[in-house]
Amino acid sequence: MKNIHGLIFLIGIFLLVSMILFYTIPLVCYQEIHRTIKKTITETQDSEKSAVYVKSNKKIYNSGDNMRLVIDLKNFTIKDVLKIQVFGIKTARGNFAFNKIREVEIKENPYKVIFDIKLPSCSKCAGITPGKYSIKVNILQKDEVVKNEVVDIKLL
């Protein structure tokens, strides 16, 4: 009789533990999946609200001129650390004449960043001919491009 009571007790404990595990583990997994999806949706909505506007001080530049780019960052979170990459003017060898990266911390909204860039000289040796070029601006957060913008210029 004692063995039957002990066996029934062990079966009861086993069933209780099984119910707890089969209920708790899926619940914890569901909560973690829900938290991850909610975070992803929130980050996507935040990045969709943010905007980047880029203006150059001129549209037509002479060879070797200085170009000023004004980059307006709107609706980014205060204290976010972003990297701004500005690159452009592809040479005949396939390289970019400049590729600058600057790290900034958003201190206010909107936040303005100014890039002063010396444009290359047009020459056969440099592999740069006069013409239209695109200057690209990438906004990186945690080394992923979250926004980008392009400014077209003409180089004489």
Q: What is the pLDDT of residues 115-150, one digit of tens each?
A: 999 998 887 777 788 999 999 999 999 889 999 999
- CB of 103 closer than 8 Å to CB of 113: no
Half-sphere exposure of 135 (CA within 13 A, CB side): 32
Res 7: pLDDT = 74
Q: 29: left (phi > 0), else alpha (psi -120 to 50), else beta?
A: alpha
What local confidence, expressed as pLDDT, does residue 122 receive?
Answer: 82
| Token representation of residue 50 | 């943010």
Higher-pLDDT residue of 155 and 42 is: 155
What is the model's pLDDT at position 2? 62
Q: For the segment 10-45, what is each residue's pLDDT rounded down to a tens digit?
A: 787 877 777 676 666 666 666 676 676 665 554 544
Half-sphere exposure of 10 toward its Cβ, with a 13 Å CA cutoff? Answer: 6
Tell me the backbone φ, ψ of residue 36, rounded to 5 degrees: -65, -45
To the question of pTM greater than 0.95 for the whole model, the response is no
Cβ pair 85, 71 in contact under 8 A: no
The predicted pLDDT at position 37 comes to 62
- pLDDT: which is higher, 56 or 40: 56
